[in-house]
Amino acid sequence: MFKNKVFFTISFLATTMALTACQPKQAEPKDQQTAQSEPAKQVETVKLVGDTEKLALGLPACDGNSCPEISIERLSSNQAFVDELIDEQILKQLDQILDISPKLLKDKPQAVTTEVAASNSQNQIPDQPASIAVETKKQKIEKQIAPYLSTFLLLDKELKALSANHQISLMIKPKILNATVPLATVVLNSSSYLGGAHGSSSQHYYNFDLKNKKQMKLDDILAPNQKAILQNKAHEVFKIWVMDSKLADNLEEYEQVWKFTLSDNFYLSTQGLVLQYGEYEIGPYVVGLPRLTIPYDQLQTVLKKEYLPPVQTKNSSPASNPAENNKAKS
């Protein structure tokens, strides 16, 4: 009897173990965690993070209320290719603002160049062995700006020699406008007064695909064969701007003087595609730096999908509904 019980118990255990071995294995918790973490990696986005740093230009000592003023800042961010492009554009801006430099420097460059060099020498780092001396990006652009600074100071001397009581000035400064998707954007602001009736200013926008480390132009964000359609839509916004600004009573007569063109200086705002224009580009000096904004609802087939904002669902809150907001205000 005892032997039968032992035999039965052994048989039962063997059968149980066999059935357990046949059951399908469950996924390891570690694998589940890995699978869950993969989507999180896919949604990670690169951000443009940084600030500006002021260049040491070493202006010579000056007393009085009409001393020349110049301030230039560069971008120092976590994206080297962006910083390099903005540095190039700073030099380009200086070349456009001080386009008289070749003539002035040809006349008498030595006095001003020597004066600037003496002032800069006070701010230089002591000489180091070539093996350890490394030129920073900031020091590199400071050297590149030196000829423009000489031109700027020479112009100041020329104006003062003519008894012109002018205080000339020049400012260039970049700023991160948008740090992430769909496009990272840096705006380069500049203003200058070099004598004359009034000063001058500009705003240039530079857009970047940080993932692919590429500057994006207007054509890059347009759907195929949509450039002409965008131009027509922008032209209509231009006409409304002219009339709302009371610049003319007759659009045809206005466009004989200020003909509309499609600007490639742009950025994507929360409202739509913004086209930035320069002084005298589509209007007189009094209008400053005009901007034309084309709403996203007019660009659904014009822009590539990745550059359009997410479509709001029907469950959006009433506060986000413009019609409801207008009723509340009334």
For residue 12, the model assigns a pLDDT of: 47
Neighbour order of strands in the sheet with 272-276: 266-268, 272-276, 291-295
pLDDT of residue 235: 98
Q: What is the DSSP string of 65-101?
A: S---EEEEEEEEES-HHHHHHHHHHHHHHHHHHTTTH
How many contiguous H segments (helices) and E segments (strands) does the chain have? 10, 9
pLDDT of residue 77: 98
Low-confidence ranges of the chain (pLDDT < 70): 1-43, 100-132, 312-330
SS3 23: coil
Tokens encoding 104: 């002035």
Give the pLDDT of residue 129.
58
Q: Which of 71, 279, 83 is nearest to 173 (CA)?
A: 71
Q: How far apart are CA 222 and CA 230, in angstroms?
A: 9
**pLDDT, tens digit (0-9, with 9 covering 90-100), for 240-278:** 999 999 999 999 999 999 999 999 999 999 999 999 999
In the chain, what are the domain boundaries?
Answer: 50-121+135-216, 221-308
Q: Give pLDDT, residue 58.
A: 87
Q: Which CATH class is domain 221-308?
A: alpha beta
Could you give the CA distance from residue 142 to residue 125 in angstroms, rounded to a whole number? Answer: 13
Distance CA 160, CA 101 (A): 17
- Specify the pLDDT at position 311: 73
Q: Does residue 293 contact residue 276 with C-beta atoms inside 8 Å?
A: no
Q: Which CATH number fits domain 50-121+135-216: 3.40.50.720, 3.30.470.10, 1.10.275.10, 3.30.565.40?
A: 3.30.565.40
